[in-house]
């Protein structure tokens, strides 16, 4: 009799194997903020395409973590979008990207950016800082 709490188990020559490990394994495979990051990219029509992921997978020697690959593509695109929208260069701002499954982060100058509104607010703030900086430079000349 199966006493495990899972309904999907198979008996093997090694004992009982739970087939229910896959959902629990993937439960913590991506950041809860991923949907917010994807929504930003969707707004600007620059979503990551399936073919981009498969191109990376085909080039991998070992089996990659698909969640991390996808999050890497999303966050790199998000960083590029931020720089494009603000007119900043990489050296002008500290964009921190850390990718490790559930523990994945995207920060701009120490500010965690996890959704559309935070991204838009951060873009507005940096544009305002850019305008202020330009006015100050004009005054000095």
pLDDT tens for 58-98 read 988 988 888 999 999 999 999 999 999 999 999 999 999 99
In whole angstroms, how far apart are CA 59 and each of 14, 65, 70, 73? Answer: 34, 13, 14, 15
Beta bridge partners of 96: 107
* Residue 4, pLDDT above cutoff 90: no
Look at residue 10 and tell me if it is in a domain.
no
Look at residue 64 and tell me if it is in a domain.
yes
Residue 85: burial class (beta carbons within 10 Å; 0-12, 13-18, 19+): middle
What is the average pLDDT score of the chain? 84
Question: What's the whole-number mean pLDDT along residues 5-31?
Answer: 50
Specify the higher pLDDT residue, 116 or 25.
116
Look at residue 115 and tell me if it is in a domain.
yes
Look at residue 1 and tell me if it is in a domain.
no
Q: Enumerate residues 6+ apart whose C-beta is below 8 A from 126.
A: 82, 86, 88, 93, 108
Which pLDDT belongs to residue 27?
A: 54
Question: What's the whole-number mean pLDDT along residues 109-117?
Answer: 97
Entry pTM: 0.77
Angle between helices 66-86 and 116-140 (to 10 degrees): 30
Kindly report, residue by residue over 32-54, the tens digit of the pLDDT: 999 999 999 999 999 999 999 99
Domain count, the chain: 1
Which pLDDT belongs to residue 26?
A: 52
Q: How far out from the chain centre does Cα 24 lie?
A: 20
Specify the higher pLDDT residue, 24 or 88.
88
Look at residue 18 and tell me if it is in a domain.
no
* Residue 28, pLDDT above cutoff 60: yes
Which pLDDT belongs to residue 18?
A: 44
Full residue range of the structural domain in which residue 111 is found? 30-140
Look at residue 3 and tell me if it is in a domain.
no
């Amino acid at each position: 009799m199966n006493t495990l709490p899972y309904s999907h188990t198979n008996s093997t020559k090694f004992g009982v194997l739970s087939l229910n490990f896959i959902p629990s394994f993937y439960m913590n495979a991506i950041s809860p903020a991923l949907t917010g990051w994807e929504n930003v990219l969707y707004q600007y029509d620059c979503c990551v395409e399936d073919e981009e992921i498969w191109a990376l997978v085909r080039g991998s020697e070992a089996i990659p973590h698909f969640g991390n690959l996808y999050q890497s593509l999303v966050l790199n695109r998000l960083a590029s979008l931020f720089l494009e929208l603000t007119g900043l260069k990489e050296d002008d701002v500290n964009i921190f990207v850390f990718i490790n499954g559930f523990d994945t982060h995207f920060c701009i100058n120490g500010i965690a950016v996890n959704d559309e509104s935070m991204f838009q607010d951060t873009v507005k703030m940096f544009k305002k800082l850019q305008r202020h900086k330009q006015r100050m430079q004009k005054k000095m000349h």
